[in-house]
């Protein structure tokens, strides 16, 4: 038996939408479009001023721990330090503009081996392993470009993550980063597994190393005052959530052996790497548009 349709629609037949409501709707759409245009213009100007002051590209190339192997790979929206022995990245870096978080490119969902990178894992390595193909640079940060979206699914940007991390605190932090990018116009993000930890498990024919921990650092060196924060998470459920995982960037450097933001003036570098003001970051709101 077919369900009866609701009478709500039939009861509204013949009723005209008041002109005032229509005009308000049109005005709201225009305001959003104009606001988005202003935000894009403001953030492009922000990026230009930032580039004049400091080399953004240099900040996206931290000094990798010399004890680990690396192959640097440049993609449209991210830089990857890939470890050909562990078959996972040492780190992935990208700059995220607030305007880029508003893209409408559909999620690719097609994981691909980068055949140009020696040691790159295959999608089959993860099948039946119990681990997610965990993005280091998230696909949702790449919705502004079809190429960037597709490249975020390259296996050079992927590491084995338990779903309790990948769909839990790691995902929550990714969402927070997009809010922070909107609040500060642009942020620098560097993330990856902590490859200096002992490897207790490998998966797949390629023998992909399973990390014990992951890190992420976020910096806004152009903010007033400049600020930065780090996070270290176990490969599993994060007790206490992202706040419990918050640390200073100095602590991330100690854990990974990488050297971040050495291109900045010492006073700015010390400031953004020494602090861990999670409550300050968590209270940041997107700019009004």
pLDDT attached to residue 260: 97
| Digitized pLDDT (tens) for each residue of the chain, 289 residues in all | 433 333 333 334 344 445 555 555 555 544 444 444 544 544 555 555 555 566 788 889 999 999 999 999 999 999 999 999 999 999 999 999 988 998 899 999 999 999 999 999 999 999 999 999 999 999 999 999 999 999 999 999 999 999 999 999 999 999 999 999 998 888 999 999 999 999 999 999 999 999 999 999 999 988 888 899 999 999 999 999 999 999 999 999 999 999 999 989 999 999 999 999 999 998 888 864 3
Whole-structure pTM value: 0.83
User: Helices 266-274 and 249-256 meet at what angle, rounded to 10?
Assistant: 90
As a residue count, the chain comes to 289
**SS3 of the chain: helix, strand, coil, percent, to 5:** 40, 20, 40
User: Which residues are bridge partners to 83 per DSSP?
Assistant: 88
Rounded distance between C-alpha atoms, residue 276 and residue 115, angstroms: 39
Q: Which top CATH class is 55-282?
A: alpha beta
Q: Read off the tokens for 288.
A: 């009004």
Q: Where are the domains of the chain?
A: 55-282
Question: Phi/psi zone of residue 227: left (φ > 0), alpha (ψ -120 to 50 degrees), beta?
Answer: beta
User: Which residues are bridge partners to 92 per DSSP?
Assistant: 80, 191
Q: Read off the tokens for 191.
A: 């993330």
pLDDT attached to residue 224: 82
pLDDT attached to residue 99: 87
* Strand intervals (E) in the chain: 71-74, 79-83, 88-97, 132-135, 158-161, 186-193, 202-203, 208-209, 213-220, 227-234, 246-247
> Which of 257, 273, 261, 135 minimizes the C-alpha distance to 194?
257
Q: Read off the tokens for 188.
A: 């620098």
> Which of 84, 103, 188, 87 minimizes the C-alpha distance to 137?
188
DSSP count for the chain of H helices, then E strands: 10, 11
């Amino acid at each position: 038996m077919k369900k009866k349709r609701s009478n709500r629609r039939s009861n509204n037949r013949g009723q005209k939408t008041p002109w005032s409501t229509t005009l308000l709707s049109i005005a709201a759409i225009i305001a959003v479009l104009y606001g988005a245009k202003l935000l894009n213009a403001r953030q492009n100007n922000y990026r230009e001023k930032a580039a004049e002051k400091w080399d953004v590209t240099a900040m996206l190339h931290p000094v990798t721990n010399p004890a680990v192997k690396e192959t640097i790979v440049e993609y449209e929206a991210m830089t990857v330090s890939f470890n050909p022995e562990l078959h996972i990245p040492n780190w992935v870096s990208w700059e995220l503009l607030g305007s880029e978080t508003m893209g409408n490119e559909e999620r690719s969902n097609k994981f691909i081996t980068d055949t140009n990178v020696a040691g790159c894992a295959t999608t089959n390595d993860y099948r039946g392993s119990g681990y997610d193909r965990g993005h280091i640079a998230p696909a949702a940060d790449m919705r502004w470009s079809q190429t960037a979206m597709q490249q975020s699914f390259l296996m050079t940007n992927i590491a084995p993550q338990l779903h309790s991390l990948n769909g839990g605190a790691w995902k929550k932090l990714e969402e927070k980063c997009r809010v922070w990018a909107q609040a500060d116009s642009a942020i620098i993000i560097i993330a990856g597994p902590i490859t200096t930890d002992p490897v207790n498990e490998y998966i797949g024919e390629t023998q992909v190393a399973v990390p014990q921990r992951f890190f992420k650092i976020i910096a806004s060196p152009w903010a007033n005052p400049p600020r930065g924060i780090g996070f270290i998470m176990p490969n599993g459920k994060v007790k206490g959530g992202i706040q419990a995982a918050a640390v200073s960037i100095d602590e991330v450097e100690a854990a990974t052996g990488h050297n971040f933001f050495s291109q900045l003036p010492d006073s700015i570098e010390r400031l953004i790497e020494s602090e861990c003001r999670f409550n300050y970051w968590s209270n940041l709101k997107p700019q009004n548009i």
